[in-house]
Amino acid sequence: MKQGWEIKPLGDMCEKTSNIKWQENQNIEFEYIDLSAVSRETLKITETVSVNSTNAPSRAKKIVKTNDIIFATTRPTLKRVVKISNQYNNQICSTGYVVLRSKTDLIEPEIIFYYLQTEMYMDRMESMQRGANYPAVTDKDVKETIFSYPVSKGEQKRIVAKLDECFGAIDKARANVEKNLNNAKELFQSKLNQIFSQKGDGWEEKKLGEVAKTTAGGTPLKIHKEYYENGLIPWLRSGEVGVKEITESKMFITELGLENSSAKLVPKNSVMIAMYGATAGEVGVLKFESSTNQAVCAILPNDKLKPEFLYYYFLNEKENLVSQAVGNAQPNISQQKIKNILIPFLSIELQEKIVGQLDNLFEKTQSLESNYQQELDALDELKKSILQKAFNGEL
């Protein structure tokens, strides 16, 4: 170990924290930090909710103070970590966080904040998760893990200042790349809107159900293992729909499953639209014969409509489709609503011309998006590398 550094359990560097006693704080409003309130990307609190003794959720228990570090311990929010600012006087957080309050005579709180972001620590927490339904680590797990740190407060402050400088530059670069990425996406969306809003010669509109057949699938009963085990028939779900070309299905069913359910085979080049929940409105073109579950509407191919033309049209119509969804827990577009959508009914030649224009732009924007994503990934790797050097005493 580098001279001047020590290894200790994280808990040894932290003070004890406490939970709220609502009976003693009945007339006080607290700002509550829920598990969803911390951004995984920025590691900042995006929102808080005012609560009191009458409306606080049962998990609103842990008192937090300025400079505390809170670390989410449950999946899928594991790894979200934030340093509490002095924005509010009274703050509490969910029991899904561990609260780390540094002994400031021993350790700068920012050192703990940065340490919890290291890949080594994140991987350790990931491997320690327990529980089938809600995998998590405990507060004890977090506090018993050891870490190395410089004993000198001056050296701690130097490292924090260096990390702040490096991460500030990386965050600025990331913001620029994300802006370019959004611009690329907006460029394609703008062209899409332009083509389908400026109706030219030969433009006619008809309900989809008048010019194409649609169908939806079903789910074989899960209690019958013979409907799934060793199945060879692809079974597409709504979460697999949101790509231009759908080239694979992660699940399969058997002939028995197909015969004993509403699932049905749909042909290659069917246009698939997700109808339920978070994926509602996603669209893609099927590139292999497959069955589907009931959350997917398939527009069957015919000689009057190019699949790619329908893909681009429904990609442009996504917001319109989603706005028609009904239901709270599981918003549903419904196959009938899709059949009633007015679509451009154009000559095949005109469809091919439009598809050619959009394919060209789509390929260019996809290439740009891929390049920008690689830049973002590289910046993330740079952060990991800098953190590793910092806690190896090499920064």
Q: What per-residue confidence (pLDDT) applies to 133?
A: 77
Is the pLDDT at 348 greater than 90, yes or no? yes
Q: Which two tokens stand for residue 190?
A: 């703008």
Residue-wise pLDDT for 301-318, tens only, equals 999 999 999 999 999 999
- Same-domain check for residues 127 and 145: yes
Is the domain of 145 the same as that of 180?
Answer: no
Q: Is 90 exceeded by the pLDDT of residue 273?
A: yes
Beta bridge pairs of residue 206: 343
Domain termination residue (choose one: 150, 174, 191): 150
Kindly state whether residues 317 and 366 are assigned to the same domain: no
For the chain, percent of residues with pLDDT exceeding 70? 98
Q: Please report whether residue 258 resides in a domain.
A: no
CATH code, domain carrying 88: 3.90.220.20
Confidence of residue 132 (pLDDT cuts 50, 70, 90): confident
Look at residue 225 and tell me whether its pLDDT is greater than 70. Answer: yes
Structural domains in the chain (count): 3
For 168-178, what is the mean pLDDT?
A: 94
Same domain, 61 and 96: yes
User: Which pLDDT does position 106 carry in this prediction?
Assistant: 93
The pLDDT assigned to 321 comes to 86
* Same domain membership, residue 140 and residue 164: no
CATH number of the domain at 359, please: 1.10.287
pLDDT category at 330 given cuts 50, 70, 90 is: low
* Within-domain flag for 254: no
Residues 319 and 370 in one domain: no
Structure tokens at 260: 């004993």
Give 298's strand partners.
215, 272
Predicted confidence at residue 291, as pLDDT, reads: 97
267: left (phi over 0), alpha (psi -120 to 50) or beta: beta
The mean pLDDT value for 105-116 works out to 94
The mean per-residue pLDDT over the stretch 85-89 comes to 78
321 and 378 co-located in one domain: no
Kindly state the average pLDDT of the residues 269-285. 93
Between 105-119, 126-140, 335-349, 353-367, the lowest mean confidence (pLDDT) is in 126-140
201: pLDDT strictly greater than 80? no
Question: What is the rounded average pLDDT of the residues 13-29?
Answer: 92
Spatial neighbors of 150 by CB under 8 A, at least 6 apart, are: 4, 5, 156, 159, 393
Mean pLDDT of the chain: 91
Binned at pLDDT 50, 70 and 90, residue 327 comes out as low
Give the per-residue pLDDT at 212. 97
Q: What's the distance, CA 222 to chain centroid?
A: 27
pLDDT at 125: 87
Neighbour count for residue 291 (Cβ, 10 Å): 27
Statement to judge: residues 208 and 174 lie in one domain: no
Specify whether 167 is located in the same domain as 196.
yes
Judged against a pLDDT cut of 80, whether residue 269 lies above it is answered with yes
Q: Secondary structure of the chain in the HEC alphabet?
A: CCCCEEEEEHHHHEECCCECCHHHCCCCCEEEECHHHECCCCCCECCCEEECCCCCCCCEEEEECCCCEEEECECCCCCCEEECCCCCCCEEEECCEEEEEECCCCCCHHHHHHHCCCHHHHHHHHHHCECCCCCECCHHHHHHCEEEEECCHHHHHHHHHHHHHHHHHHHHHHHHHHHHHHHHHHHHHHHHHHHHHCCCCCCCEEEHHHHCCEEECCCCCCCCHHHCCCCCEEEECHHHCCCCEECCCCCEECHHHHHCCCCCEECCCCEEEECEHHHCCCEEEECCCEEECCCEEEECCECCECHHHHHHHHHHCHHHHHHCCECCCCCECCHHHHHHCEEECCCHHHHHHHHHHHHHHHHHHHHHHHHHHHHHHHHHHHHHHHHHHHHCCCC
- The verdict on residue 118 lying in a domain is yes
> Looking at residue 60, what is its pLDDT?
94
**Confidence at 110, pLDDT banded by 50, 70, 90:** very high
Q: Which domain holds residue 381?
A: 152-201+346-395
Q: Does residue 295 belong to any structural domain of this protein?
A: yes
Give the model confidence (pLDDT) of 160-170 as tens digits.
999 999 999 99
